[in-house]
Structure 1
Amino acid sequence: MSKQYESRDYWRGMLNASVCKLLILRAVCERPGHGYEIIRRVAALTHDACAPTEGTVYPVLREFEVCGCLSVHDDTVRGRTRHVYCATPQGRAALRAGLAVWRHGLAKMSHSLADTP
């Protein structure tokens, strides 16, 4: 199946893929949470412009846990055990670095996206 480059959904997916990790980290740095809660927070932060799926968020959370950016503990609510993710100092430093790069890049690129040729 060929890519539909004329589709806004294609470009929305590309945007989500490129910024999703940073937004997941930001959501956890704001406050600890479990996977589904983090998905909802990212969607709310971006006014639904970026809404990661479970298939996206859990591998990213695991990657951040393995590298030391997040810690995880189990919390049982009404008989259900959930993994709750918390930012570590390394995770907060990673967020600051990521935000600096994105802010700089957006400032440099915004003028080139302003006008349609």
Structure 2
Amino acid sequence: MAHRKVVEAVDRSLRQNDRSMGGITVLFCGDFRQTLPVIPQGTRADEVGACLKSSYLRRDIQSVLLTINMRVRTGNNPDDRQFSDKLLKIGEGTYPQLHQGKLILTPELCCIVQSQPHLISSVT
């Protein structure tokens, strides 16, 4: 995720007649449920403050939620589909193993790896 100040700098460069981004349609891609901007030696509040959701531009951004993982949909591996469904449920807060907003890790959510070569063969 880009630091919000980067996006705000682009906005200031393009801004005309008080129109965000100079009236140009800009497409931002990302998942706010994943990684926040990294702030070296920063606190969680610093990371949240650096996020695009904390920008003055947020009021002008229209969010479009994509909920179908096309890579999984076109493949034939049922394990990939199950994993994708679990990730969506976790992100939506509807996964049954959530307790007080925290995920309870169960064995089927974990990848047990015996060695570095086993890890490499598991993810390739």
User: Higher strand fraction: Structure 1 or Structure 2?
Assistant: 1
Task: Between the two structures, name the one with larger relative contact order (CA 8 Å, sep ≥ 6).
Answer: 1
Could you tell me the TM-score, scaled by structure 2's length?
0.25
User: Higher helix fraction: Structure 1 or Structure 2?
Assistant: 1
Could you tell me the TM-score, scaled by structure 1's length?
0.26
- Higher-Rg structure is 2
